[in-house]
Structure 1
Amino acid sequence: MTPSERLAALRARLAEAGVQGFIVPRADEHLGEYVPPSGERLAWLTGFTGSAGMAIVLPDRAAVFTDGRYTLQVRAQTDGSLWECRHVTEEPPAEWLKAHAQDLAIGYDPWLHAASAIERLTVPGLHFVPLTANPLDAVWADRPAAPMAEAVPHPIEFAGKPSAEKRAEAAATLRDAQEEAAVLADAHSLAWLLNIRGGDLAHTPLALGFALLHADARVDLFMDPRKVPAETRVHLGNDVVVRPRSELPQALDALRGRRVRIDAEATPAWFTHWLREAGAEISAGEDPCRMPRACKNAVERDGARAAHRRDAAAMARFLAWFAAEAPKGGLTEMSAAAQLLAFRQDGERFRGESFPAISGAGEHGAIVHYRAMPETDRRIAPDEVYLIDSGGQYLDGTTDITRTLWTGPGAAPAAVKERVTRVLKGHIALATARFPTGVAGPHLDALARRALWDEGLDYDHGTGHGVGSFLSVHEGPVAFSRTARVVPLREGMILSDEPGFYATGEYGIRLENLLLVVPAELPAATKPFLQFETLTLAPFECALIEPALLTTAEREWLNAYHARVLAEVAPLVDEVTLDWLRGACAAV
């Protein structure tokens, strides 16, 4: 089917269902950022493949909403004669609906939206209708089958805490709130709580399913039994019962008259609807696994440090190789990313990329979440800016790093160096921040932007996101962003520090390290303070730095960081890489 035929077929199904509009989110039933091929509804309908977005289909118009990371990509991937492209914050979906869908019945699949998400769309004059069957699925004739990868135990040497202990602590929070059960719809929560991992998603080691956590620490795990082999059942123990998803309604009906926790942001609206009909009492509360998962235990922190050292060795090999090969002009975006992956694959405990590498040369670097494909793969020319954003999944940690490089052999333009240096200043400002407990990511976001703001410059994405432990490279609930929830930072959280600048049609700049939240020892402090430990170990491109723009403190930080990179990475690399690393880490 052509894009036009797909849209027409969906509209015909909507008419049969008695609604005039339909909302198509990016998320699947688990409301996560990453979905299996069977959940790529937004991409199938619109052509847009970004990891965040929403489409709204009305009888005579349709729109795709994305954030600032994807404004260029969405226009390139969608048919402008079929789809309007809208910035999700500059023209929110609710406002667009208010302007174009008054008095229309708007359908939605309650499995694909949190109840809170529908509430945010609700404005006077709009009528939302939960549909029992998804009309898009009905016209997606060649829809892939649901993933069936096995769930496997995640060893205690990496998890750091037994599942029984985690379940007991999570159940205690339910009892304290006088709740008898909690719905767990986020597959990351299942992975963390039960110390299991899987292969249902590319790049994120999840086994997709749902669970009911009971106040006595028992768990009903709703997952296709074929995905849970005997070894995993032994690992789960007798207090975790594996049940097919078809038994979910029966299990929820059994909660009649009981108080059940629902995380309104992380649970499909279907659960809320069903439990209310069953006569259960809905208790609004956060997923009891979310905050404990974000605060890594001591074993996970040490695992993150070890994983980043191994990842640093792979990055050093890549950067040395790139410095030698890029000036020759024989590389492409895809060949460079493939070489970095090959270096990572040599590392111990490596299990795959944490996301598809963003390998963007020249103007492609200005597309924030660009992904090189055969039809877009571009030659990396000499004397231009190249951006590489990548990461690895290791059994003991998840990495994410971005470096902006100059391909040489000539000198970089002064204007480019000035902007890279301003991005670096912002990176350093965040990395060196010390702050009292209670401070949240939105409170610190401006630190990374100050040097750009001084010149009237900015970037249209958050400064950083949470990162999991052999889980998702994008993990809530914390983030450095003006639009993020105000969730106080806590010891053990891992976040990215990635300010940037993007000159559309010319180049992109982003400098990213991962930071671990640790206690700050301040003798004069009158209350507890926190600070960051930098986990990522890779030199910044000194050919793109203008030292005169750095303060003395910033130069000292950069030189100390590079000295640490050299000291920790040198024992892990070959002589050729080490020779390059010594030069790359020389003091500025």
Structure 2
Amino acid sequence: MTADSAHFQHFDVTTQPSQGVTNVAALRAEMKKLGLDGFIVPHEDEHQNEYLPDANERLAWVSGFTGSAGAAIIFMDRAILFADGRYTLQSREQTDPSVFSVEDFNASSLADTVAKAPRGSVIGYDAALISPFGLNALLTAADSAGVTLKSVSPNPLDLAWGNARPAQPMALIVPQPLEYAGVASADKRAHLAATLKANNIAAALITAPSSLAWLFNIRGGDVIRSPLPLGQAILKSDGSADLFIEPAKISDGLLEWLGNEVTVAGPGAVVPALKAFTGQSVLIDANLSSAYWLEAIKAAGATPLTADDPCLLPRACKNDVELAGTTAAHIRDGALLTTFLHWLATEAQETLPTEIEVARKLESIRKSGSDIRDLSFDTISGFGPHGALPHYKVNVSSDLKTAKGNLLLVDSGAQFLDGTTDVTRTVAMGEPTAEHRRMFTLVLKGHIALATVKFPAGTTGTHLDALARQFLWAEGFDYDHGTGHGVGVYLGVHEGPQRIAKALNRYALQTGMIVSNEPGFYKAGEYGIRIENLQYVTEAEIPAGGERLMHRFENLTWAPIDRNLIDVSLLTPAERSYMDRYHARCVELLSPLISDEVRGWLMQVCAPL
């Protein structure tokens, strides 16, 4: 499948059938051959991807659960699926209760289960699917419980899957032109190599698909909704590099684009290539790579040095060309989204479409944009009680018809050659209640607080998270997800290392980093509210007499916020002024790109509060 043919994969709303007894039985048969009492099945694949190619959807194959985060442990007499709160409904709907018990997923879930296994048990794992840090936690738990944790290869699940397993993706890898990338690959490699050399590190083994895409200025189509190529690379301290990809993925002109300092070989050449660094240090990111690669470095006679992927921070801090590109992409996407919001505010108020029809309508409008490549994730379209599930994914079984008197939450995004978007709008179907308006406005106040804050250099997202929650906290409410995640430029819609959340994050927010601003409120069984824009970090003007370098956020997302849900009496004059400025800017930027009918509506809904 070429990169072009992978574009705009149709929004998938089919219900994944529960795998139940059949696939679990097949796995247990392979486990028995290996003398295993249990086997760990992470969601992540060999590349630690969040979103996976079909061939790597091992957790979905064995359990039926298709969420983007989770894990399972299959014992000979029982099976446990771990899924976090985003997937409470989906995980139970997609699994066979006669086979799987479903439990909450957190950082210690797998280790805690290993620690409770009967003494003497042998639990298998695939080292290619677990990070070194994750494996260390499991080994510690196993040791304390008298349990043996055994690395097995080949993976017994892959053996059980057999010929029915889809083929690995072979999307062509294509250049990302300099007009979008901003900095040549040779310059990126030289900069990173200088740091390696200064620290007496011979090379870095890079396995994260997003790092490969950024470092070599290439894009692919191996991962759904993300233009990522699967492979590995060795960046050497002299600035040269070895790129390991399937030969079938090499597009016309790609080798010339990569240049003479980049050697291209197949994936099987990685381990032999590591032997060139015997007796030397090789950097590996223990959070982004698998335990398999750490062991491969050791086996080659090199010394693994666990540290951040050298691409991590440079990739996160967008250059001026990337920021200009994503700014333009967000404006174009804002026009498409505004056309959709006009439909929701007019025709949809009478036809009352289902959740699937809403998602499909937005997809069709976005698809009309000539330069759009794909969605950036499957649209979240949740009405009423489904809106209270932050990462709800509609399917044919759960599809609700909208009705007047409740809220519709739509979280969506798109991939453009020059940017990646992610935006959430909550709209009222019919007339909202006073409670809807009150809670929406509390969320909006937090959104504005985070959008307008100035903060000193060195501040992390952890320090800012409470700003978005303060108005909910004051009334005794909160939400259980992070407030902001990093976003790439024609890369992943979830990109680290920066984030805004209660959980400790050690990475300061730096100029050029893109983060989402998405506080929310969720009333279980009734409705959900989330307001999400993307914004990037830039330097702030320092008032006269100020002493510290300060940062602020520059907004990227432009689309009207449902004024019918705003209780203006709860806003301060400064907050009202912000909303008026934001909506005036929406009219200014989007009006040239939308129809006369949509423009007239936009001017009405963006009038001063």
Deviation of the 1:68 alpha carbon: 2.5
Encode CA deviations 1:241-282: one digit per residue, 9 max, x unaligned. Answer: 111111222112232111100111011111111221221111
Alpha-carbon distance between aligned partners in 1 of 2:19 and 2:49, rounded to the nearest angstrom: 28
Answer yes or no: is 1:527 the counterpart of 2:544.
no
Please tell me the residue identity of whatever aligns with 1:28. D
Alpha-carbon distance between aligned partners in 2 of 1:526 and 1:100, rounded to the nearest angstrom: 57
2:441 equivalent in structure 1:
421
Deviation of the 1:521 alpha carbon: 0.8
Q: TM-score under structure 1 normalisation? A: 0.97
Alpha-carbon distance between aligned partners in 1 of 2:467 and 2:95, rounded to the nearest angstrom: 36
Helix, strand or coil at the partner of 1:476: coil
Helix, strand or coil at the partner of 1:475: coil
Helix, strand or coil at the partner of 1:514: strand
Please tell me the residue identity of whatever aligns with 1:35. L
Deviation of the 1:154 alpha carbon: 0.4
Deviation of the 1:95 alpha carbon: 2.1
Deviation of the 1:306 alpha carbon: 0.3
Deviation of the 1:342 alpha carbon: 2.2
1:224 equivalent in structure 2:
246
Alpha-carbon distance between aligned partners in 1 of 2:101 and 2:501, rounded to the nearest angstrom: 26
2:205 to 183, 200, 209: 183
State the superposition RMSD in angstroms.
1.5
1:249 equivalent in structure 2:
271
Answer yes or no: is 1:537 the counterpart of 2:558.
yes
Helix, strand or coil at the partner of 1:517: strand
1:262 equivalent in structure 2:
284
Answer yes or no: is 1:302 the counterpart of 2:324.
yes
Helix, strand or coil at the partner of 1:282: strand
CA contact (8 A) 2:70 2:84 kept: yes
Answer yes or no: is 1:17 the counterpart of 2:34.
yes
Alpha-carbon distance between aligned partners in 1 of 2:110 and 2:103, rounded to the nearest angstrom: 8
CA contact (8 A) 1:325 1:331 kept: no
Deviation of the 1:229 alpha carbon: 2.3
Going from structure 1 to structure 2, the CA distance change for 1:158 and 1:62 (only over 3 Å counts) comes to same
Deviation of the 1:498 alpha carbon: 0.7
Answer yes or no: is 1:504 the counterpart of 2:521.
no
2:570 to 545, 549, 552: 549
Alpha-carbon distance between aligned partners in 1 of 2:307 and 2:265, rounded to the nearest angstrom: 25
Deviation of the 1:481 alpha carbon: 1.4
Alpha-carbon distance between aligned partners in 1 of 2:311 and 2:327, rounded to the nearest angstrom: 23
1:143 equivalent in structure 2:
165
2:262 equivalent in structure 1:
240
Helix, strand or coil at the partner of 1:34: coil
1:67 equivalent in structure 2:
84
2:6 equivalent in structure 1:
none
Encode CA deviations 1:437-469: one digit per residue, 9 max, x unaligned. Answer: 111111211111111112221111111110000
1:436 to 449, 456, 461: 456
Helix, strand or coil at the partner of 1:230: coil
Deviation of the 1:484 alpha carbon: 4.9
Alpha-carbon distance between aligned partners in 2 of 1:279 and 1:90, rounded to the nearest angstrom: 32
Q: TM-score under structure 2 normalisation? A: 0.94
Alpha-carbon distance between aligned partners in 2 of 1:208 and 1:101, rounded to the nearest angstrom: 38
Encode CA deviations 1:464-494: one digit per residue, 9 max, x unaligned. Answer: 1100000000001111112253211100000
2:415 to 379, 390, 393: 393
Answer yes or no: is 1:456 the counterpart of 2:462.
no
1:472 equivalent in structure 2:
492
Deviation of the 1:96 alpha carbon: 2.8
Alpha-carbon distance between aligned partners in 1 of 2:308 and 2:499, rounded to the nearest angstrom: 17
1:311 equivalent in structure 2:
333
Going from structure 1 to structure 2, the CA distance change for 1:293 and 1:101 (only over 3 Å counts) comes to farther
CA contact (8 A) 1:188 1:471 kept: yes
Deviation of the 1:91 alpha carbon: 6.5
Please tell me the residue identity of whatever aligns with 1:207. P
Alpha-carbon distance between aligned partners in 1 of 2:434 and 2:118, rounded to the nearest angstrom: 50
Encode CA deviations 1:17-74: one digit per residue, 9 max, x unaligned. Answer: 1222211111111102111000101111111111111111223332222222222321
Alpha-carbon distance between aligned partners in 2 of 1:501 and 1:100, rounded to the nearest angstrom: 38
1:159 to 174, 181, 192: 181
Alpha-carbon distance between aligned partners in 2 of 1:99 and 1:526, rounded to the nearest angstrom: 55
Going from structure 1 to structure 2, the CA distance change for 1:2 and 1:357 (only over 3 Å counts) comes to closer
Unmatched tracts of structure 2, length 5 or more: 1-17
Alpha-carbon distance between aligned partners in 2 of 1:296 and 1:345, rounded to the nearest angstrom: 26
Alpha-carbon distance between aligned partners in 2 of 1:551 and 1:266, rounded to the nearest angstrom: 44
CA contact (8 A) 1:194 1:236 kept: yes
1:97 equivalent in structure 2:
114
Going from structure 1 to structure 2, the CA distance change for 1:379 and 1:105 (only over 3 Å counts) comes to same
Deviation of the 1:317 alpha carbon: 0.8
Encode CA deviations 1:283-322: one digit per residue, 9 max, x unaligned. Answer: 1111011110000000000011100110111011111111
2:367 to 342, 345, 349: 345
Alpha-carbon distance between aligned partners in 2 of 1:11 and 1:75, rounded to the nearest angstrom: 22
Please tell me the residue identity of whatever aligns with 2:520. G
Encode CA deviations 1:150-196: one digit per residue, 9 max, x unaligned. Answer: 00000000000111101111111211221001111101111000000
CA contact (8 A) 1:329 1:379 kept: no
Task: Decide which moves more: 252-261 or 150-159.
Answer: 252-261
1:133 to 154, 159, 182: 154
Deviation of the 1:79 alpha carbon: 2.1
1:110 equivalent in structure 2:
127
Alpha-carbon distance between aligned partners in 1 of 2:546 and 2:121, rounded to the nearest angstrom: 58
CA contact (8 A) 1:73 1:367 kept: no
Deviation of the 1:348 alpha carbon: 4.3
Deviation of the 1:570 alpha carbon: 1.4
Please tell me the residue identity of whatever aligns with 1:40. E
2:4 equivalent in structure 1:
none
Encode CA deviations 1:544-567: one digit per residue, 9 max, x unaligned. Answer: 111111222211211111111111
Unmatched tracts of structure 1, length 5 or more: none
CA contact (8 A) 2:65 2:94 kept: yes
1:568 equivalent in structure 2:
589
Answer yes or no: is 1:204 the counterpart of 2:221.
no
Residues 269-280 of structure 1: pairs in structure 2 closer than 5 A: 269-280=291-302
Helix, strand or coil at the partner of 1:516: strand
Please tell me the residue identity of whatever aligns with 2:444. L
Please tell me the residue identity of whatever aligns with 1:315. L
Answer yes or no: is 1:513 the counterpart of 2:494.
no
Alpha-carbon distance between aligned partners in 2 of 1:100 and 1:453, rounded to the nearest angstrom: 40
CA contact (8 A) 1:36 1:201 kept: yes
Please tell me the residue identity of whatever aligns with 1:84. S
Alpha-carbon distance between aligned partners in 2 of 1:23 and 1:263, rounded to the nearest angstrom: 22
Encode CA deviations 1:527-584: one digit per residue, 9 max, x unaligned. Answer: 2111101110011111111111122221121111111111111122111001110111
Helix, strand or coil at the partner of 2:158: helix
2:402 equivalent in structure 1:
380
Going from structure 1 to structure 2, the CA distance change for 1:101 and 1:154 (only over 3 Å counts) comes to farther
CA contact (8 A) 2:19 2:61 kept: no
Helix, strand or coil at the partner of 1:587: coil
